[in-house]
Amino acid sequence: MLLILSAMPQEIEALLPALNPVSRIQSGGREVAAGRLEGLPVTLAFSRWGKVAAAATAAHLITTARPTRVLFTGIAGSLRDELGIGDVVLARNLYQHDLDASPFFPPTHVPLLNTAALPTDAAFTKELHAALDAFMAEDLLRTLGDQARRLAPNRRSLIGDIATGDQVIGDGAARERVRSRVPTAVCVEMEGAAVAQVCHEFGVPFACLRVISDHADERVNPVDIFELARLSGHYTVGMLRRWMATGGAS
Which residues of the chain are modeled with pLDDT < 70?
141, 148, 222-223, 250
Predicted local confidence at residue 161, as pLDDT? 98
Q: What pLDDT does residue 130 have? A: 96
What distance in Å separates the CA atoms of residue 49 and residue 240, rounded to the nearest whole number?
Answer: 24
| 13 tagged catalytic | no
User: Which one is catalytic: 127, 214, 217, 227?
Assistant: 214
CB 190 within 8 A of CB 75: no
Rounded to two decimals, the pTM is: 0.93
Q: Which residues are CB-contacts of 79 (< 8 A; sequence separation ≥ 6)?
A: 163, 175, 178, 179, 185, 186, 187, 188, 216
Specify the pLDDT at position 21: 79
Q: Ramachandran region of residue 217, left (φ > 0), alpha (ψ -120 to 50) or beta? A: beta
Answer whether 40's CB lies under 8 Å from 18's CB. no
Contacts of 83 (CB under 8 A, 6+ apart): 89, 156, 158, 186, 187, 212
Give alpha helix (H) positions in the chain: 9-12, 51-65, 122-138, 140-144, 146-151, 172-181, 192-202, 222-245
Fold (CATH) for 73-245: Rossmann fold (3.40.50)
Reply yes or no on whether 214 is catalytic.
Answer: yes
Catalytic-labelled residue, pool 11, 121, 127, 191:
11
Q: How does pLDDT run across 52-69, given as a tens digit for each residue? A: 999 999 999 999 999 999
pLDDT at residue 219 in the model: 78
Locate the domains of the chain by residue range.
Answer: 73-245
Share of the chain above pLDDT 90, in %: 65
pLDDT at position 250, please?
A: 65
